[in-house]
Amino acid sequence: MSESNIVLNIRNVNKTFGGLHALGDINLEIEEGKTHAIIGPNGAGKSTLLNVCIGRLVPDSGTVEFEGQNMIGMQPHEINHAGMVRVFQTPEIFPDLSVIENVMVPALAKRDGIFKFNAFSSMAGEKQIADEALHVLEDLGLGALVNQHAGSMSRGDKRRLELAMGLIQHPRLLLLDEPTAGMARHDTNRTIDLLKKIKERGMTKIIIEHDMHVVFSLADTISVLAQGCIIASGTPDEIRGNPKVQEAYLGGAEL
């Protein structure tokens, strides 16, 4: 794999909380244009790893290089501005704003800078960003809800709304934390279709997900975390038949 094709390079990352070793010597390479899934049992360290990547946690040691620049020590908004955008497991939306206003907020904040941005004054007269927000919402099947208060949306629609809030920032790397958690099967399948459409555009993604149907439908590469360590990485077929992975998840049963 050429070094120039690596968007995110995680090297020897360790993180402890008191006596708990949450991450142990994590090494990962995320290839440009690919979908890389990170899976593992509850408490394996998946969310901790994402929080290190986006600057919410500082590791005890190691480096996180995004497009050749070490992100360690940078603030979350600086990492976001560099092009690494995370969509959280619990939707972080503005419930009192309309759906389209929710999508406009991150686009305007990224353009104007976090310290200059004022949501209400910045949105006035911003037709170009409003048009782009409408396009993104229509692309995700939310075009009919643009004027609805975001707080009144269904759980599945809120998850898609936050995805729209991520996409409008034109990320170089999109980090998705449990994108289908709590969804009914028809909403999950719809989200899979949407993420496949995004994949066709060449966007690089990291997905943390418990639903193996989602993982095997989307991932080019899968890395498995258990007790803070990567126990396997490979293609979906390689991971599906890996005895260590089967033991970590299901006591030896096949995935």
CA 208, CA 152: separation in Å to the nearest integer? 26
C-beta of residue 94 within 8 angstroms of C-beta of residue 149: no
**What global pTM score does this model have?**
0.88
Q: Given this model, what pLDDT does residue 24 score? A: 94
Strand partners, 65: 9, 70
Per the document, the length of the chain is 255
Between the alpha carbon of residue 166 and those of residues 38, 89, 105, the distances in Å are 19, 13, 11
Q: Given this model, what pLDDT does residue 115 score? A: 47
Give the chain's end-to-end CA distance (angstroms, integer): 28
Residue whose C-alpha is closest to residue 153's, from 97, 198, 206, 113: 97
CA 188, CA 182: separation in Å to the nearest integer? 9
C-beta of residue 102 within 8 angstroms of C-beta of residue 85: no
Query: Which tens digits make up the pLDDT trace of 207-229?
Result: 999 899 999 999 999 999 999 99
CA 172, CA 204: separation in Å to the nearest integer? 7
Q: Given this model, what pLDDT does residue 250 score? A: 57
Mention the CATH class of domain 1-83+172-180+202-255.
alpha beta
Backbone φ and ψ of 107, nearest 5°: -65, -45
- CATH 3.40.50.300 residue ranges of the chain are 1-83+172-180+202-255
Strands annotated E in the chain: 6-17, 20-31, 35-39, 61-66, 69-70, 84-87, 173-177, 204-208, 221-226, 229-234
Q: Given this model, what pLDDT does residue 120 score? A: 55
- Evaluated on CA atoms 59, 62, 65, 71, the torsion sign reads positive
Query: Which tens digits make up the pLDDT trace of 232-253?
Result: 999 999 998 888 888 876 554 4
Mean pLDDT of 113-134: 70
Buried b / exposed e over 15-54, threshold 16 CB at 10 Å, is: beeeeebbbbebebbbbbebbbbbbbeeebbbbbbbbbbb
